[in-house]
A = this chain, B = another copy of it.
């Protein structure tokens, strides 16, 4: 593979001149520049990024570590990160931690070893190893979930409030026993959504402790389906469900269909995320839409700012999720007829 010396030899100049010519440095004789260029073309020379980075002690690469490539929530974030990074001249490499701390750790090591310019991280578990990044001074922005320890730059969603609003919405629609299927215990978004759900119950004068809920895996419909079945089999089954993401919503909706329960009539349903198929099903799914793309772009902006000025104070950006009521959370027919009596129903 051709090196800079080959080019220099062919152009009859020194390697220094080639380097300067190629990097558009200061004043180089235009004639020499031309000679260098033709030599480059003839040799098919491609600068060795490895050597360059080693010398410069920096790379124009950002690492984005997410916990599930197959989750549209994260891929939308990826797009936001990428667009901002691209325009700033950075490349983005996407790493999939699969919600596994050891895989995350491994990618963090790689990021460190490859000396990436910065990392956007959606922490899985306790994010051991992020300490290393901090020690090294490698800029990190946490996304969707905060990093343990003292806060650095982060972009979060006010998901607890959103869960509370969604639950209140179900209550207002006349549902009296709202249940919740949330993500794995220990994952911040899952815990927050459960907390927000309980907030709403408490505010409505209900005992949050007796609230019917289940944990399930975020990325598989199976677990959520089983969780829904369990809830439906309760002595006092819920008449409405808050679901913590769209992958789980699929499992839950399957379970409901299996029981012949129709959302919006027999049972109220609101799910986090606004997947493209939400309006396709009958009735359309009420959702809590998250500003995914903005999460990504905001994270990238924060990261670039941090790279530019390592000493700026850390900033937390909290974005709002938006409740979009659709058919699946309309009050049930039965409820409309009998008129919700004592419960905190509306209408």
The residues of A with any CB-CB pair to B shorter than 8 Å are 1, 44, 46-54, 59, 61, 69-70, 72, 75-76, 78-79, 82, 86, 91-96, 103, 106-107, 109-110, 112-115, 132, 135-136, 221, 247, 250, 253-254, 257, 275-277, 279-282
Contacts and interface: CB of A to CB of B under 8 A. Distances in A.
Given A96-B78, A96-B79, A281-B280, A114 B70 contact: no
Contacts of A112: 46
Contact of A49 (B110, B221, B257): B110
Nearest to A52: B113
A321 to B, nearest CB: 19
A46 to B, nearest CB: 5
Contact of A110 (B75, B91, B94, B275): B91
- Give the secondary structure class of A's interface: helix
A320 B126 CA distance: 42
Contacts of A277: 250, 275, 277, 280-281
Given A46-B136, A48-B54, A253-B280, 9 more contacts: A44-B135, A44-B136, A46-B112, A49-B113, A69-B75, A69-B79, A91-B110, A93-B95, A94-B96
Question: How many copies of the polypeptide does the oligomer hold?
Answer: 2
Contacts of A86: 103
Nearest to A137: B1
B79 A107 contact: no
Nearest to A106: B91
A109 to B, nearest CB: 7
A132 B95 contact: no
Contact of A48 (B70, B113, B135, B276): B113
A280 B225 CA distance: 13
A46 B51 CA distance: 18
Contacts of A78: 69, 96
Contacts of A51: 54
B48 A115 contact: yes
Contact of A70 (B46, B50, B72, B103): B72
B46 A113 contact: yes
A96 B281 CA distance: 30
